Structure 1
Amino acid sequence: MPVKFVLFDIYDELVAAWQQAFPALVPPEALEHITIKGASLDDLDVSFDTIVSPANSFGRLDGSFDQVLSDYIAPESDNDALTHAAQAVLYQRWRGYAPPGTCTLVPLVRTPCEHNQLGVRYVALCPTMRTPENVKWNKEVVYNCVWSLLVAIDNHNAEVAADPEKAAREGAAPIECVAMTGLATGVGAVSPEVCAKQMACAFTHYHEAKARPEKWGALKWRDIFKLPVYFSEEFDD
């Protein structure tokens, strides 16, 4: 079953940019699994098992939307519990530093965050920045984060399907629905239009990559240079 995605944000400009970019750039067969909502976490009226954190590279979930996630997911007795869970995984995989543009899935089962208000099983850490800062200079970071997210979800679901007994022992489950806000549109200062177009392009190119492995498994330069990713027009600011 295809994974569903819920794009939500409280900023009208970003929601409007998504609503314009996704129908224009994403093919209908991929778009039908993507929902766009102008909403906060409080107002989100859909269920999801995974939520994306536009984190920093060190997994400190204590500012901006990451602090909101900690407030919802960490127990009241330990607001840093989500940060601790994230950093444990980041150390195991990245020795504590996940480069911007990557994605790391943090399982919450068997952690103090397992029984959380959102009912999520996973947090997908997609750092858009090394530390909180303006990242308009990083022209591909939004595209890279979404691409890495899609790869991480696919690989996770394939591993669960390949060895259900191991997954059951580890408390792993397929990812079925992912909620995500804008990436780098707050502190990162990436414009809503650039964010929306890069997110849409990542979904589009990934959909094509899965549908046409013969092409994407042997890309020629002529194919590569035809792939628009809408680099930030703000790069020289």
Structure 2
Amino acid sequence: MLCALDEPLAEAWLAVPEAVSGRVRVHRGSVLDIAADAVVSPANSFGWMRGGIDAVYARAFPGVEQQVRSAVLAYHGGEVPIGEAVVVPTGEPKPEWLISAPTVREPGEQLPADTVHPYLAARAVFLLWRDGRLESGGDVRAAVDTIAMPGLGTGVGGVAPETCARQVAAAWDEVFAGR
């Protein structure tokens, strides 16, 4: 589920071929409006959740920032490289999971216009969903049917909605269509 709070991002999402074909849906509104199994956090590499959608998640799911920071430390030595992702429980029944896939290294970082970070973050989410394991040992795909994804890097990072949508579509094609 591709989510957009503003119309330019919604229109960019609708231009994604999979969204038009019905394999992926577009929601005009917050990721928290959907009964998804997981939400995507386009966080920073250190797991700080103090700005943008991450601050919304931190308020909605008390303790999730500490969960993310602990996973970042345990699995990545304190810094998740852009292009990798971690999944943690939210402490809520819906969404039960939060997938942290950094689009920036440092909190508040502005991305250059030619960035590939939305692609790398989306690819990390899709690979984690397809092949990943939960800390309990179960498959992520078995636990997560619906993922709500905001614009990756389109908020604080300043990525154009069209760039984000094009890169998310390319990541989908690579992971699920082998292109």
> Which TM-score band applies after superposition, normalised by the shorter structure?
0.7 to 0.9
Q: Give the match for residue 187 of structure 1.
A: 156
Asked which structure has the greater CA Rg, the reply is 1
Give the paired residue count.
Answer: 176
Question: Where does structure 1 differ by over 6 angstroms across 4 or more consecutive aligned residues?
Answer: none
Q: Kindly indicate whether the alpha-carbon contact (under 8 Å) linking 1:103 and 1:145 is maintained by their aligned counterparts in 2.
A: yes
Partner AA of 1:19 in structure 2: L
Deviation at 1:115, TM superposition (A): 3.1
2:13 equivalent to 1:18: yes
State the match for 2:87 in structure 1.
105
- Output the CA distance in 1 between the equivalents of 2:19 and 2:57: 31
Structure 1, unmatched stretches of 5+, are 1-5, 75-80, 210-226, 228-237
1:173 Cα deviation from its structure 2 partner: 5.4
Superposition RMSD on alpha carbons, in Å?
Answer: 2.5
User: TM-score, normalised on structure 2?
Assistant: 0.88
**Which amino acid in 2 is paired with 1:68?**
V
2:38/2:97 contact within 8 Å kept: yes
CA apart distance, 1:101: 2.6
1:10-64 deviations in whole A, cap 9, x for unaligned?
A: 11101111112x12xx497xx433110111246x2x4111100010111011211
Letter of the aligned partner of 2:120 in structure 1? N
CA–CA distance in structure 2, aligned partners of residues 60 and 124 of structure 1: 14
Partner of residue 217, structure 1: none
**Distance of aligned partners of 1:187 and 1:166 in 2 relative to their CA distance in 1, 3 Å threshold:** closer
Q: Which residue of 1 aligns with 2:68?
A: 86
Cα distance in 1 for residues equivalent to 2:82 and 2:129: 17
Identity of aligned residues (%): 25
Measure the CA separation in 1 of the matches of 2:167 and 2:137. Answer: 36
After TM superposition, list the pairs within 5 Å mapping 1:1-237 onto structure 2: 6-20=1-15, 22-23=16-17, 26=18, 31-41=21-31, 44=33, 46-74=34-62, 81-106=63-88, 108=89, 113-115=90-92, 119-131=94-106, 132-136=108-112, 139-156=115-132, 159=133, 167=138, 174-209=143-178
Aligned partners of 1:53 and 1:126 also within 8 Å: yes
Where does residue 234 of structure 1 map in the other structure?
Answer: none
Q: Distance in 2 between matches of 1:183 and 1:49?
A: 18
Instruction: Assess if the C-alpha contact under 8 Å between 2:122 and 2:168 holds in 1.
Output: yes
What SS does the aligned partner of 2:152 have? coil
Q: Equivalents in 1 of 2:19, 2:144: separation in Å?
A: 22
